[in-house]
Structure 1
């Protein structure tokens, strides 16, 4: 596991959500304010505010890719075009590995119910599924930005 993935897992295990955990390890590389990034990404965990839509590891990755392209290209059109290319390729690779980018489909329970919370805890969903999504998100990012 690479150092970014290790940092992301440590962040997640310390209580950050999946989007924060994927985004924050890149703050030094791309010279952005980690505290502001933490705040901006705070609503993206649990599939965006626990709506269980797009996985937070995925939305965090999209943020990283956007920052990457904005730092790499000064032209807005090149930023936009390359964001689309990298995000679509990220999505393709993530879906190949996980069959979905939707939190509810990935974890197969409703985190907004007591039953879903109990299922998640009993089946170690965070450890078995969310952590794998975070690691895979980092690995895909790394493959795309090199």
Structure 2
């Protein structure tokens, strides 16, 4: 099973988007599953259910920070920033945005929006696409 499939599988089996990305992609950098779950917990729902940046995206950005290291800290920052910009560019090319509430088409930060998301089962039906795409893009950028 490839990284994207593993990430989506974890998401569909109880982990939130950010936890799934951090669990699969954090392992090679020494991030164990328990710590990945703790770190990812507040990122779901667009950072604490605020509907802002998608948890799969924010988790991928954290992984890029781990992966794109360099002995020279200024170079590490330049590489990390460029990697994040490329990640966001690719994700937005696929989905038009990185904002959770816009991806879902309902604002998770409001009572009404959350009700719509739950009634329409949007987390289960549309989020796997975002999680899988975030994982695929991250795989591509980590290979560079």
**Fold agreement, TM-score > 0.5:** yes
2:48 is equivalent to residue 49 of structure 1: yes
Shift of the alpha carbon at 1:112?
4.0
TM-score, length-normalised on structure 1?
A: 0.89
Q: Which residue of 1 aligns with 2:140?
A: 143
Shift of the alpha carbon at 1:118?
3.5
Gaps of 5+ in 2: none
Kindly provide the CA deviation profile for residues 76-114 of structure 1, in whole angstroms up to 9, marking residues without a partner as x: 112111110000000000001000010111101122445
8 Å CA contact 2:23–2:31 kept in 1: the answer is no
Q: Which residue of 2 aligns with 1:5?
A: 4
Q: 128-137 vs 108-117, which deviates more?
A: 108-117
Q: Paired residue for 1:75, among 56, 72, 77?
A: 72
Q: 10-19 vs 43-52, which deviates more?
A: 10-19
Distance 1:54 1:112 in 2: 12
Distance 2:85 2:109 in 1: 29
Distance 2:37 2:13 in 1: 13
Distance 2:47 2:114 in 1: 17
- The number of residues matched between the two structures is 143
8 Å CA contact 2:46–2:100 kept in 1: the answer is yes
Q: Which runs of 4+ in 1 moved over 6 A?
A: none
8 Å CA contact 2:106–2:113 kept in 1: the answer is yes
Distance 2:45 2:80 in 1: 23
TM-score, length-normalised on structure 2?
A: 0.90
Matches within 5 A, 1:85-104: 85-104=82-101
Q: Which residue of 2 aligns with 1:107?
A: 104
Kindly provide the CA deviation profile for residues 8-39 of structure 1, in whole angstroms up to 9, marking residues without a partner as x: 11221222211111111023322223322221
